[in-house]
Chain A
Amino acid sequence: MAHQAHAYHMVDPSPWPLTGAVGALLMTSGLAIWFHFHSMTLMTLGLILLLLTMYQWWRDIIREGTFQGHHTPPVQKGLRYGMILFITSEVFFFLGFFWAFYHSSLAPTPELGGCWPPTGITTLDPFEVPLLNTAVLLASGVTVTWAHHSIMEGERKQTIQSLALTIILGLYFTALQAMEYYEAPFTIADGVYGSTFFVATGFHGLHVIIGSTFLAVCFLRQIQYHFTSEHHFGFEAAAWYWHFVDVVWLFLYVSIYWWGS
């Protein structure tokens, strides 16, 4: 049996990059077919394929790291760089929507009444549910840090409890925001105010759901003894992502909800 003379991970050949790429093709072309020919089959197939690919690809990474021991310190360093670069790309994604908001709100056109918020728009009170949402996400930042320290100190029960609390707070935020969306006195079609509001907060909400899912996977892995007090990068990546989601909300709250009202 040949043994490698280095600490890096030469991965087994995998079909998931191909299936993922085809899934993306089906979702995008399926979207166009849905728009023009009213058939959702292609898009649905693409979504199923994407979900299957994500499940199996990440399952394989867990197997390679936790069960085969391939995630040596140099490999882990690469994973850290990867997660940091990914979050940086997401920062730039949101920067674009903040640019759009400030472009329209700093110099409101005559069509809007020359003012911001535009004439006719009833804004949400920033000191009602949006402030509660801020408190919920800040609290979840505390609980996820508590979970991290619990993992590092080998406290299994506390890790499980604090991680569960973090996920519950994330779900609570999502439920509150869904209620706000339902009750809002304006829609996405209400000019540039509606567009910037719902696209920016909508993409943020999607990231909260993604972050909550990531934390939930970490919760299941913690219950199954996958993490050790020294090696738990999957959890750290989830915690970084969660802090990023929290910070984006703070910018959204100050810019759109507070200053923008």
Chain B
Amino acid sequence: MPTCTNTHTGGQRSKKGGTFSAQPKSVYYALIGLFQVLSLPHLASRAFSTTVRQMKNKVPDCQKVFLEDNGLPIHIKGGTTDVLLYRLTMAITVAGTGFSCYWLLFASFPKSKA
């Protein structure tokens, strides 16, 4: 099953931002950082054009998965990962509600003196 929640972004250069010296509030140092940032696009275009060429359009595959007439609601229609994530979220919801009730009771009664 195609992983429609795939967030692959391909190779990205890490930001080579301006080196922040401890010198405070010097526009000069900040502008150097800005010039370094602005030089990124021509570097980024090399990385991004590779990414662009490699990325295949998986939208039609995802459309097939999510338009299948299997009666599943949208939040678990994507497969096993969906179900696991849903169960984890619900578990935290229930446990958290119970936990907050416990703390409410704890906070409601006066502290016993040791």
Q: Do B100 and A63 touch across chains, with their CB atoms under 8 A apart?
A: no
- A157-B45, A175-B20 as given contacts; A12 in contact with B55, CB under 8 Å: no
A115 to B92, CA, bound (A): 52
Whether B24 is near chain A, meaning CB under 8 Å from some CB there, is: yes
Q: Do B73 and A225 touch across chains, with their CB atoms under 8 A apart?
A: no
- A52-B92, A175-B20, A183-B24 as given contacts; A13 in contact with B73, CB under 8 Å: yes
Q: Do A25 and B89 touch across chains, with their CB atoms under 8 A apart?
A: no
Question: In the complex, what's the smallest C-beta–C-beta distance from A95 to chain B, in angstroms?
Answer: 29
Whether A124 is near chain B, meaning CB under 8 Å from some CB there, is: yes
Interface string of B18-37 (1 = CB under 8 A from A): 00100011110011011001
A66 to B4, CA, bound (A): 11
Chain B residues closer than 8 Å to A180, beta-carbon distance = 25
Whether B15 is near chain A, meaning CB under 8 Å from some CB there, is: yes
Q: Do B15 and A67 touch across chains, with their CB atoms under 8 A apart?
A: no
Whether A176 is near chain B, meaning CB under 8 Å from some CB there, is: yes
A132-176, CB < 8 A from B: 132, 136, 156-157, 160-161, 164-165, 168-169, 171-172, 175-176
Q: Do B104 and A29 touch across chains, with their CB atoms under 8 A apart?
A: yes
Q: Do B95 and A64 touch across chains, with their CB atoms under 8 A apart?
A: no
Please pick, from A29, A132, A179, the residue contacting B31 in the complex, using a CB distance under 8 A.
A132
Chain B residues closer than 8 Å to A37, beta-carbon distance = 103, 106-107
Q: Do A220 and B17 touch across chains, with their CB atoms under 8 A apart?
A: no
A175 to B18, CA, bound (A): 10
Whether A119 is near chain B, meaning CB under 8 Å from some CB there, is: no
Q: Do B31 and A53 touch across chains, with their CB atoms under 8 A apart?
A: no
Please pick, from B15, B34, B52, B89, the residue contacting A56 in the complex, using a CB distance under 8 A.
B89
Whether A120 is near chain B, meaning CB under 8 Å from some CB there, is: no
Q: Do B49 and A157 touch across chains, with their CB atoms under 8 A apart?
A: yes
Question: In the complex, what's the smallest C-beta–C-beta distance from A2 to chain B, in angstroms?
Answer: 11
A46-B96, A164-B44, A226-B59 given; 6 more Cβ-contact pairs under 8 Å: A45-B96, A49-B89, A66-B62, A168-B15, A172-B37, A179-B20
Chain A residues within CB distance 8 Å of chain B: 1, 11-16, 18-19, 22-23, 25-26, 29-30, 32-33, 36-37, 39, 41-42, 45-46, 48-49, 52-53, 56, 59-60, 63-64, 66-69, 124-125, 127-129, 131-132, 136, 156-157, 160-161, 164-165, 168-169, 171-172, 175-176, 179-180, 183, 219-220, 223-226
Question: Can you report 17 residue pairs joining A to B where beta carbons are below 8 Å apart?
Answer: A15-B90, A19-B89, A22-B97, A26-B99, A32-B107, A45-B96, A63-B77, A63-B78, A64-B74, A125-B25, A127-B27, A129-B30, A161-B41, A164-B48, A168-B40, A179-B24, A224-B58
